[in-house]
Amino acid sequence: MTTEIDLREQPVDEYRTYLFEVLNDAGAGDTFEIVAEEDVDPYLVRYQLEHDRALEWEYDHPDAEPRKLQLSVGDLLDGEFGTIDVRDLKPQRRHEALLEIFNGLDASEGFVLVNDHDPKPLYHELSSMHGDVVGWEYENKGDGEWRVEIEKTGESEAEDGDVVTSYDVRKIPKQERHPTIHHRYGMIPEGGTMEIIAPHEPRPLRQEFQQKYSDSFEWEIVDQKPGECRVHITKRGETDNAETDDGSTSLEIIEELDVRDLPPAQRHEKIFDSYADLTGGEGFVLVNDHDPKPLYHQFDAEAGPEFRWEYRKKEPGEFRVLIGKTETAAAASEPTESSGPPF
């Protein structure tokens, strides 16, 4: 029998206390349906840490409000880390939850993260914000299930501030820097600020931002000294450049890809596979139950100049987007040399 827990009747700052009281009386195999005004992942990870009891949970919908999830109580962990599976969360919610969870860890505490793709950008983000205290060990790679044991190995160096996230690109391999930054920038809320720490002023990155986001961001150098330049990038309202690209209407539409019935963990893999199968001049119409804007930023950072994106419909429960490759796809795949300064 499943027990219903409606946290909407509780103040948000009492969610943790109420959940812990209910779970303390539960045994292995007990199941719950939880309804809340916000994600409860940090509380459930904390419960696993403090009570050495495994929990498994899954949200009914990646973005529906209020939040509804199914939770089951497992066996004792016997000192092992508990697990959080974020494959059923939107990318923005994933980062928000995982940052909050890591912030709340004490030294030597941790968790096992399950994701549908390599979460390496999260490692760079945590390391940039907290210093060299991020233990990161892969348990499984690929096939839609990446498992990583993440541990806080010491006292955090994180500083309180007004930034949503921070990246020290000096610690990130060069080929991963720009895709990592664009991918994460797409997830921060309007008005949010990202901090970039670079060995010098990252002018090539600023040029990319101007090309991709036009006037929808503010760029401020807040500190500069030999070997270190700190830049704050604040997101304004997005322009049409982030929604429609010239050339989309000339694409040949070869299929309609409706992912609304797929589990969230399988959607991105299916979409990227469909994109990989396209040749220059072809496209498909993606149908989703919420705005797939984070997907746009991931494509835009990784796919190259041949990528095209055009909204066709925006309604509750039905978003239609034309995704395709222009005829420049073949030329774009040829290697080129960059003449700009390294960043």
For residue 180, what pLDDT band results from cuts at 50, 70 and 90?
confident
pLDDT at 242 (0 to 100):
47
Is residue 196 a part of any domain in this protein?
yes
Residue 43 is encoded by which pair of tokens? 């509380």
Radius of gyration of the chain (CA): 21
Q: What is the pLDDT of residues 158-178, one digit of tens each?
A: 776 789 999 999 999 998 898
Cα(263)–Cα(77) distance, rounded to whole angstroms? 27
Is residue 63 a part of any domain in this protein?
yes
Domain range for 177 is 165-239
CATH of the domain at 299: 3.30.110.40
Q: Indicate the number of domains in the chain.
A: 3
What mean pLDDT, rounded, does the chain reach? 87
Which region, left, alpha or beta, applies to residue 195 given φ > 0 means left and ψ of -120 to 50 means alpha? beta
Determine what percent of the chain is predicted with pLDDT higher than 90.
58
Same-domain pairing of 131 and 34: yes
pLDDT at 49 (0 to 100):
95
Return the DSSP state at 12. G
Same-domain pairing of 184 and 321: no
Cα(322)–Cα(342) distance, rounded to whole angstroms? 34
Listed residues 89, 121, 152: the one ending a domain: 152
Cα(50)–Cα(74) distance, rounded to whole angstroms? 15
Same-domain pairing of 188 and 306: no
Closest CA to 62 of 256, 263, 330: 263
Same-domain pairing of 132 and 233: no
The model carries a pTM of 0.71
pLDDT at 51 (0 to 100):
95
For residue 333, what pLDDT band results from cuts at 50, 70 and 90?
very low
pLDDT at 102 (0 to 100):
96
The pair phi, psi for residue 26, each rounded to 5°, is: -95, 160
Same-domain pairing of 230 and 259: no
Q: Among the listed ranges 88-102, 200-214, 243-257, which one has the minimum average pLDDT value?
A: 243-257
Q: What is the pLDDT of residues 110-131, one digit of tens each?
A: 999 999 889 998 999 999 999 9
